[in-house]
Structure 1
């Protein structure tokens, strides 16, 4: 019963914020594409502005961490539960740094290599986090399980 209650709380929150996140993301894409056609700003800077649509993801990760933190009082679990938020924030900041590097110089293929390392590294860290947190809290609902429940 405990796991089903956890899933229900997370699904209820995810459904509430889904429409707002889609609207903010679509608005961000619309503004970015409009500026790309009309402004003289550089393309990487405008694409960086477009990634401001990731901010709802940061808010979602923080809120999901807050909900998940009520599921277990273990000190290690409480410290680790915010990791997805910090990982998303770190990824966004590194992405902006990469876009700045692209804007300042001509990094060539090393830019794409660094971007690939960032994406693969974040994926690997998320999978490792899931394995560790599941050892501490067997009833932990991973993002993959939550996504499956939403569909």
Structure 2
């Protein structure tokens, strides 16, 4: 889990997410459970009245303020001034260096996993492909 040090509702700068050629993958969340604690996971979920809820203090969807070609080339940009859907915020997380930082889109409060995913999916329409090594005219 990443430790947040600053929060945003409107992005002050561009953020990037590795995705697929046709989709930014804002709906791809790794949860624990079913993942084990020692595995890589994004958010912790728990049951409440037979509904899976996201623990708002446990993490969120990863983004970066740079494109790292070591992770891949299919990067999507969430432009500066993008507003988060109601109920979400972005955290600048501790541990960046040389201006390269990790960010997380987190729920403001515990919410059903399905609602969190719906809100994250709203960001897909804001995302712009900015693939490394592929001219924009060849994207999509």
Higher relative helix content:
1
Higher relative strand content:
2
Q: Shorter-chain-normalised TM-score: which range?
A: under 0.3
* Structure 2 length-normalised TM: 0.27
